[in-house]
Structure formats: C-alpha cells, structure tokens
C-alpha cells in the first residue's frame, strides 16, 4: 500500500487546512519545493500536490511550483486543484505530471471528463470529495445533493481508472479515518481507491492496510506528517513489512 505525503499549496506556501475550510489554515513552510524534496529523501514513492488557490478560483495558479517539483524530484506526482479544461490537464501531463486529478469538472462537464479518461487513461484520476456523504466541489466550498458513493460508481462507468476519496470532515482534524465509509466506497467500485482524510497514527495505517485486498491502493497523509504524529520512515517500513 502506498503512503503518499500531501503538499497543499496556497499563495506559494505549503499549508494544511482543517475540514477543507480556507479560514482554518496552518502554514508549515514557505518553500514547497524543499518540502517535496524532504519527503522524497525520506523514501516517499509518490507525492500528492494540491493547488488550493486553483481549486478555489477554478484555474491553475501555482503551476510554476508544480513545474519546479517535476524537475527537482524523481518520483511521480499526482496534481489537482482548479483543472477545469482539456488544455490544462494536457499541459500538466506534458510538464511531466504522472497523474492529473479531476474534481469539479467531473460534475460540471461529464463529456469532457469522459474524453480525458479516454485520451489519458491512467494519467487521469477522479477525485470524490465528500462532506457528510455528499459530493463537494469548487475547493470544497459547494456541497451538492449528490451521493458520493453513487457518484463514484458513475465515474467508474464513465471511464475512470482510479479514484481518490477524501472525507472532508476528517481532513486535517487528526481524528482518524472513518473506516466504515471507506469500506462502503470500496464495495461500490471495482477500480483502485486512494483514501485521504484524518489519518493520525500508525495504528490508523494498520487498520487501512487490511483493506488492501478490497482495492485500497494507498493513503494520503498530510497534517500527521507535518505535526510528526507519524514519521514517514516508520509508515513506509510498516507497509513494506506486510
């Protein structure tokens, strides 16, 4: 199972939000490039990069930092935040991004989403962000009436090869993951799932490792790494021992 450190970028800084709320922001570094290199040097095999400004405003804003990361680190990057057009997704892939994460556009333009799934296959990831079981879009600022489980199934039928599922109410809270929700999501799809939200301890990771056989491919860890509640080396050692 992959342990994927998260690097959320806002106004050029590495930050973490609590429950996806932009007013609940904590700054961890003024240098996201150095943070990326730190996690890679500690053994990370992939990084999860989110342009929070892009997610909020609907366009790629911190793309220059993403481009620098691609050049500086030698592991795959999955990047999301504000990607609302074919051109933007293609631009990131041409820069060397391994996976482009789609969120809002999945709901707003399913024809475009289907074309991106068809044209770029594994390089496009569907992000299902949920608050109280309902899909949230536009930087998690707008919660729809759409059921997240049903929407995930719809995205698989549309052509998605992989889903990132975020439990917004757990994200950045250090409360631990809602395992039953993850199990429900895994039962609803037959493609690999990556989970994000609330992972706090090695015990949390141990619990989630049991879901690997059900399709859980990896977990994204953010605040717990920055607060040193989890040491990346120990988490990697744990999953390597399975």
Q: Are 72 and 64 in contact (CB under 8 A)?
A: no
What pLDDT sits at residue 39? 98
What pLDDT sits at residue 20? 66
Is 171 one of the annotated active-site residues of the chain?
A: no
What pLDDT sits at residue 18? 75
What pLDDT sits at residue 180? 92
Which regions of the chain are under pLDDT 70?
Answer: 19-20, 139-142, 171-173
What pLDDT sits at residue 25? 84
Residues 6+ apart with CB under 8 A from 31: 14
What pLDDT sits at residue 19? 66
What pLDDT sits at residue 31? 97
Q: Are 93 and 67 in contact (CB under 8 A)?
A: no
The catalytic position among 129, 167, 171, 204 is 129
Pick from 185, 190, 218: nearest CA to 78: 218
What pLDDT sits at residue 140? 62
CATH, residue 152: 3.20.20.70
What pLDDT sits at residue 185? 95
Is 8 one of the annotated active-site residues of the chain?
A: yes
- The residue range of the domain holding 212 is 2-240
What pLDDT sits at residue 36? 97
- Structurally, the chain folds into a number of domains equal to 1
């Amino acid at each position: 199972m992959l342990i994927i450190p998260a690097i959320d970028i806002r106004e050029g800084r590495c930050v973490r939000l609590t429950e996806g709320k932009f007013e609940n922001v904590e700054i961890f570094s003024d240098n996201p490039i150095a943070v990326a290199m730190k996690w890679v040097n500690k053994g990370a095999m992939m990084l999860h990069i989110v342009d929070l400004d892009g997610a909020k405003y609907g366009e790629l804003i911190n793309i220059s930092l993403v481009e620098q990361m691609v050049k500086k680190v030698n592991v795959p990057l999955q990047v999301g935040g504000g990607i609302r057009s074919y051109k933007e997704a293609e631009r990131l892939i041409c820069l060397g991004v391994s996976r482009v994460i789609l969120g809002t556009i999945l709901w707003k333009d399913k024809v475009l989403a289907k074309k991106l799934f068809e044209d770029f296959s594994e390089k496009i990831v569907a992000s299902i962000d949920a608050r109280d079981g309902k899909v949230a879009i536009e930087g998690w600022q707008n919660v729809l009436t759409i059921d997240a489980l049903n929407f995930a199934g719809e995205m698989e039928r549309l052509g998605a090869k992989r889903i990132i599922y975020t439990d917004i109410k757990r994200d950045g809270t250090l409360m631990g993951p809602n395992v039953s929700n993850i199990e429900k999501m895994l039962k609803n799809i037959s493609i690999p799932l990556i989970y994000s939200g609330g992972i706090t301890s090695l015990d949390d990771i141990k619990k989630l490792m049991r879901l690997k056989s059900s399709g859980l491919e990896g977990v994204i860890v953010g605040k717990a790494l920055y607060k040193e509640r989890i040491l990346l080396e120990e988490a990697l050692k744990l999953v390597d021992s399975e």
